[in-house]
Amino acid sequence: MLDQKLIRENPTSVEERLSLRGKVFNISQINELTIKKKEIDIEICSLQSESKKLSKLIGKEIGKSQNNNSLELDNLKKKGNEYRIKISESEEKQRILDKQIQNEICNLPNFPSNDAPIGKDQNNNVELKTWGDPLIRDNLKSHWEIGESLNLFDSIKSTKISKSRFISLIGNGAKLERALINFMLDIHVNNGYLELMPPALVNSESLTGSGQLPKFANESFKCSNDDLWLSPTAEVPITSFHRNEIIDPKQLPIKYVAYSPCFRREAGSYGRDTKGLIRLHQFNKVELYWFCDPSKSLEAHQKITSDAESILKKLNLPYRLVDICTGDLGFSSSRTFDLEVWLPSSKCYREISSCSNCLDFQARRSSIRTKIDKKNTYLHTLNGSGLAIGRTMAAILENGQQSNGSVKIPDALVPYFGSNFLKPA
């Protein structure tokens, strides 16, 4: 959430900074509401001050009057009641304006970082580096063809169970998924992360705090009888884990790693990646999340990205690091580095992790603060996939495919999977 004071005092600057996202943002209505809110705040303070002065006069008059029925005392009490009515009316206006402002500001995205490349869409993203040697060869199979031939998963029967774009993992497919989850969790825990396993159902306040609501309500699955939604990413419950808290600065940074199932409607993406493991309504992910001192979030962004990269390196999966341009940034992010893994069948890199610095955007929405120079200050939050499990499996199947139909398991994963190869029956 953007700072209400900034919107009130510098609306033109706010519009200019938001316009870097490639869209026109008109915040004149929000600006007017914030000005009215400030005027009412001042009015309430003035009324409360006058009411306190009057209370003192009433106290003195009571002390002077023996029967507490003097005309002067009656007039003072009448005036006191008038102040209370005015204060109550103004506070009600204040509550209504607060709600209106919150609703409006919640639809505004985060400011892009000054360090993010300027651009309109993904075509303007900047490749920072590549790692590994991409597998380039004719007649390579896609991961879904490999999965079907090795009987690793089944999408047809899954449609019978639920609907399209859900998948059931079978035998070694389920075993490989479980091995990847445990492998990633162990690596990140050894790197100083505290493991969490949060609820898969989250309330509206949690989704609002992380930035999914109200803008992306159509992207999530909602339970019709409760104020509960299937979590689209562990970023949501982890953000809310410290909602409405003041965290001791000595505890920072707090680094969490969480495995969770994720559920997304993927609205607007029909017709793309409908086969295999790339774009499913339900998928597993290991999420990295930092709460940190605002002065150290740029350094933390480099570190969380490096931690996600380490998984790809250990699995020997070729990838590239991309700096996301201002027009392609996620709603809550100020700057994002994407990790894109090489998929040989497509002859291209595909996103497997987005590592984002949200600055104080989520902390402000969730009221998560720390003490800096004895003053309550919103801290900074960062998140990144470490990694998306299904996409990692797809990359392993495609990059490890052998001419005899088997798939080589990365050496680092063998102790978790228990075998060097996936082989046809």
Q: Which tokens is 67 given?
A: 């029967």
pLDDT band at 424 (very low <50, low <70, confident <90, very high): confident
For the record, the structure tokens of 9 come out as 């005092």
Percent of the chain with pLDDT over 90: 82
Beta strands 368-372; 245-247: pairing state: parallel
H or E element in which residue 416 lies: helix 414-417
Spatial separation of the C-alpha atoms in residues 201 and 208, rounded to whole Å? 14
Query: Residue 138's pLDDT is what?
Result: 87
271 pLDDT more than 70: no
User: Which residues face 381 on adjacent strands?
Assistant: 291
Q: Between the CA of residue 361 and those of 202, 218, 294, what are the distances in Å?
A: 19, 22, 11
Q: Sorting pLDDT into bands at 50, 70 and 90, what band is 54?
A: confident
The answer to whether the CB of 236 falls within 8 A of the CB of 206 is yes
List the single range of 132-141, 288-297, 357-366 with lowest mean pLDDT.
132-141
* Max avg pLDDT among 52-56, 164-168, 207-211, 270-274: 207-211
Q: What is the rounded distance in angstroms from the CA atom of residue 216 to the CA atom of residue 226?
A: 18
Residue 411 has pLDDT above 70, yes or no: yes
pLDDT in tens, 174-225: 999 999 999 999 999 999 999 999 999 999 999 999 999 998 999 999 998 8
Top pLDDT among 65 and 15 is at 15
Predicted confidence at residue 400, as pLDDT, reads 97
Q: Which domains are present in the chain?
A: 4-105 (1.10.287.40), 122-422 (3.30.930.10)
Higher pLDDT, 57 or 69: 57
Which pLDDT score is estimated for 65? Answer: 59
Of 371, 359, 385, residue with least CA distance to 298: 359
pLDDT of residue 284: 96
Q: How does residue 276 score in pLDDT terms, banded at 50, 70 and 90?
A: confident
pLDDT for the residue numbered 275: 79
Strands 335-343 and 348-357: antiparallel
Token pair of 100 as six digits: 């209106």
Q: What is the pLDDT of residue 313?
A: 98
The pLDDT of residue 252 is 97
Entry pTM:
0.90
Confidence of residue 61 (pLDDT cuts 50, 70, 90): low
Q: Which two tokens stand for residue 354?
A: 């987005």
Helix (H) or strand (E) holding 367: none
